[in-house]
Chain A
Amino acid sequence: MSALEKNAPQKSDLLPESLRDDFPILSGDVLDGHPLVFLDNAASTQRPRQVIDAICRVYERDYSNVHRGIHTLSERSTEQYEQAREKVRALIGAEHVEEIVFTQGTTASINLVAQSWGGANLKPGDEILLTAMEHHSNLVPWQQIASKTGAVLRHVPITETGLLDIATLDQLLGPRTRLVALTSVSNTLGTINPISTIAAQAHAVGALVLVDAAQSVPHQPTNVRTMGADFMAFSGHKMLGPSGIGVLYGKRELLDAMPPFMGGGSMIQEVGLESFTPAALPAKFEAGTPPIVPAIAMSAAIDYLSGIGLDAIHRHQQALVKRAYQGLSQITGLRILGPAPEHRAGLVSFAFEKIHAHEFAQVLNDQFGVAVRAGHHCTQPLHATLGITASTRASFYLYNRLADIDRLLEGVAAVQAKFAPQGRRRKARGG
């Protein structure tokens, strides 16, 4: 393990372990006798006390429906809900607060754009450019709208090392390309994609750019304007907030021109029996009672993350992923999916030829207290491209520490030993 020590992460890159005290679940007894090592953060993260307290505070003192009443509680809830919108604007560097639409999550945000913008703008033969590494939530909504409108889907392939093959962009982008929809960070490969470069090329042919930022906004600084995003989607529960809240960012002139997606209360200016006039942004896209408390709790999560600093969080995870990558690289028979640590966010997926991902997840959980994801991580086409059906994924966040990585590596070695072929023979029945 000398190579490991030589390349040991700088102490200064790591966040203080004391922040773990903010997360009640990390000290809880999830599994008998095992401290929890939670490495499934790309699926959903845990919450600090500050976020849990914010949820209780609103329900105990401030809760009512928003944008409705003139009573005190409605004013308090409305004010906090709208403050949350401003926090999100500042977090991602959007120009106007009405460019922030609250949704149920990344999936809902992408569906909103596909149905509203896509339904109004796509014509037969128009092209939507996706990539081979998209999550199902950035594939299926486009498949649905393409089949409805006659639009055509194309895909940027990946290189051998798990990067987007951006040399193909010249060929794939053209006058028919209306939209490029891609992830900023692959939830399976961990690849950090060069969004601003790709966006510049897309804009040069007149295409819009939608960024699935579910795996990047929680982990690194984000600026929609320098990225060149026309639309961006992300979720609260992947950044210490509750589930049921997400964000759609859209450039004001684009959102303004789009028809409403869902109809109902809140999204209207005026309603008659036969017709309605939609409300102005962002209410136009927030039909019905919105996720009020989740939005307010998400703003508490943003406060928490900003207090630590997303730069510092990114550096911390780079240190963790470097250690994990180096450790896993030394295990014979293990295939790491995706690029080297310098092109990678804080997650590592891997596969063994002879041992299924389920065995890793099961034994890591039962014997080591390590929670990882096993399966296709909602990227079936990517797994097919890689020639596998499932992989095991360890994904990190600010509360993970080097000891967690070491526990993972210890567990992986144990699984490998346990399931190595041993020349077993099935016993004759009844014998």
Chain B
Amino acid sequence: MDQEELYQEHILDHYEDPFHRGTLEAATHAHQEKNPLCGDVVRIELELDAQGKICDLYFTGEGCVISQASASMLLEQMHGKTIDDLKQFSADDMLQLYGPRLTPNRQKCCLLSWKVLQSVVHSPVDGAS
């Protein structure tokens, strides 16, 4: 695998200038997971309306370029979409969105935020309506 390809410019852009990195006060759902292999963490907070539309979503986290840039790319992709869109967005879609081909271990970095987002709709925030 070509290393230059792994860290493409647009990926580094997402890493340094991420989409919606932060917390969401109006969050109805929140979930976080850790990659036990390396300790990378991603937390996603999102606001769902009654129609199942993702009104807004934010992420926080700590980890490598791949885990954090992929989170930014995923959130940008899902912003304004519906729960159904989200459920249909497969792991392969996520790897394709990221772009460069990854070895199995690095795929785990890339899929961390995807896993969190798939679970977040099952994790309502206490007190949220």
Contact = CB atoms under 8 A, between A and B. Distances in A.
A12 interface: no
Interface in B41-84: 41, 62-66, 72, 76
A425 interface: yes
A426 B39 contact: no
B13 A426 contact: yes
Task: With a 10 A CB-CB cut-off, give which of B12, B13, B18, B64 has the most chain A CB atoms.
Answer: B64
B13 A356 contact: no
A362 interface: yes
A198 to B, nearest CB: 29
Given A363-B3, A426-B19, A427-B10, A380 B39 contact: yes
Interface string A352-376: 0000111100110011000000111
Interface in A411-427: 418-419, 421-427
A193 interface: no
A42 interface: no
A389 interface: yes
Contact of A389 (B15, B17, B18, B62): B62
Contact of A362 (B6, B16, B41, B76): B6
Contact of A357 (B13, B18, B64, B66): B64
B6 A390 contact: no
Contacts of B16: 421-424
Interface in A393-431: 418-419, 421-427, 429
Contacts of A47: none
Contacts of A390: 38-40, 63
A267 B23 CA distance: 59
Nearest to A418: B7
A358 B39 contact: no
Contacts of A362: 3, 6, 106
B111 interface: no
B39 A389 contact: yes
A380 B41 CA distance: 13
Interface string A326-367: 000000000000000000000000000000111100110011
Contact of B39 (A367, A376, A421, A424): A376
B10 A356 contact: no
Given A356-B65, A362-B6, A362-B106, A376 B38 contact: yes
B121 interface: no
A424 B17 contact: yes
B64 A426 contact: no
Nearest to A388: B39
A376 to B, nearest CB: 5
A356 B63 contact: yes
A383 interface: yes
Contacts of A424: 12-13, 15-17
25 contacts: A356-B40, A358-B38, A358-B63, A359-B64, A362-B106, A366-B1, A366-B2, A367-B3, A375-B38, A389-B38, A389-B40, A389-B63, A390-B40, A418-B7, A421-B16, A422-B12, A422-B16, A423-B16, A424-B13, A424-B17, A425-B13, A426-B10, A426-B19, A426-B72, A427-B10
Given A357-B38, A366-B1, A376-B38, 19 more contacts: A356-B65, A358-B65, A358-B106, A358-B109, A359-B64, A362-B3, A362-B6, A363-B3, A366-B3, A366-B6, A375-B39, A419-B65, A422-B12, A422-B16, A424-B12, A425-B17, A426-B19, A427-B13, A429-B76
Closest 4 CB pairs of A and B: A366-B3, A358-B64, A389-B39, A356-B64
